[in-house]
Amino acid sequence: MVVPYRRERDLLGDREVPQDVYYGIQTARALDNFPITGYKPHRELIMALAHVKKAAAQANVNVKRLNPRIGNAIVAACDEILEGKFIDQFVVDVIQGGAGTSYNMNANEVVANRAIELLGGKKGDYVQVSPNTHVNMAQSTNDAFPTAIKIAALKLSATLVQSLNGLGQALEEKEQEFDGIIKMGRTHLQDAVPIRLGQEFGAWACAISRDIKRIQAAASGLQTISMGATAVGTGLNADVEYIDEVTEILAANTKLPLARTANMVDSTQNTDVYVGLSSALKICAVDLSKMANDLRLLASGPRCGLNEINLPAMQPGSSIMPGKVNPVMAEVVNQVAFQVIGNDLTVTLASEAGQMELNVMEPVLTFNLLQSLDILSNVVKVFTARCVKGITANVQRCRQMVEQSVGIITAINP
């Protein structure tokens, strides 16, 4: 089957683009230039870009810079994306050169071509709706893309906090359930003094509570955005009224407490707010991994280990050893933690690599930050449902180990 093409032009010349796609020539060039990971843009980032383009069009119409007929078509196209349509048209690789220009132009082209269709035209007829002149009006990649990153990260942070709240509640319930069970406490993996099993679960719940507060505090730094900063934060080509208008519209549309940054040059240059959030995620990952390690030790055995608790049996553990069941849910927590810790290093290095008025490494920073938010939320959810809630205690085993230990003698130490 022969695929029909349309011909588009940019400053580098002409190029054929498949007739049925909604992206255009700049996205096609990005596909050629960056066949790196095979990963496509995160869905929340696509939605955030659609919100940015919609709010910009609404604001530009309001300040009488954009023809309402074109602006309304852009808004309608963005609404369709926000409904989940055309997601497959966002195709650029997550790691790319250009500070996110390929992300931004992918969005501009998809919105423009759909808006053209809504006006009765054919894809590629950019005289009707231009990706640059109309969809990207009063914007640069350098303010539109970071704003989209912040919106996506805020949405995913809220999801993670919800998952962590569920875990914290489950741990508190186990704290109450196991409050009367005495067991041996251990330091250096050696017998120490008795402790209640519930106290161990309560300590983990406290750590998760701190993680929630830390993530919420770090995420709040993403609520200030720089729409209207354009290329270097000076607001060149953006109407003064537009700058205030677009922020208010974006806050209303996303239902997020977004506000205009006090210093747009700072917001364009610096990416420390992402490092702050990534750091909070890393600390959360460390706490989760430590908890998972403890649970694996407490459930070790069952015949030749500590065997103080039972983790739910989720799947057979060996292809050769009969009857073996492994602590797979705790193990997956460890592995997600390792990934998040590694992602944090990438975010840190990418942020440090900024130069002068812009950080061009935001694509890899964004990929790692959003992945950390995603996988942490996912693993916390399944860990809570498929492990923590089903933990039971081996009461007699706990008592036996206390009675066999010399640790209780410490109680009479003067």
Phi-psi region of 218 (alpha: psi -120 to 50; beta: other; left: phi over 0): alpha
377 is annotated as an active-site residue:
no
Is beta strand 259-260 parallel, antiparallel or unpaired with respect to 224-225? Answer: parallel
- Decide if 78 contacts 50 (C-beta within 8 A): yes
Burial 391-402 (b: 16+ CB within 10 A, else e): bebbeebbeebb
From the DSSP assignment, how many helices (H) and strands (E) are in the chain? 12, 8
For residue 125, give Cα distances in angstroms to 9, 86, 285. 11, 19, 49
Q: Do residues 143 and 228 touch, judged by C-beta distance below 8 A? A: yes
Selecting among 318, 319, 351, 377, the annotated active-site residue is 318
Q: Is 218 helix (H, G, I), strand (E, B) or coil?
A: helix
- The contacts of residue 241 (CB under 8 Å, 6+ apart) are 62, 63
Which neighbouring-strand residues pair with 14? 9
Q: Mind telling me the catalytic residues?
A: 318
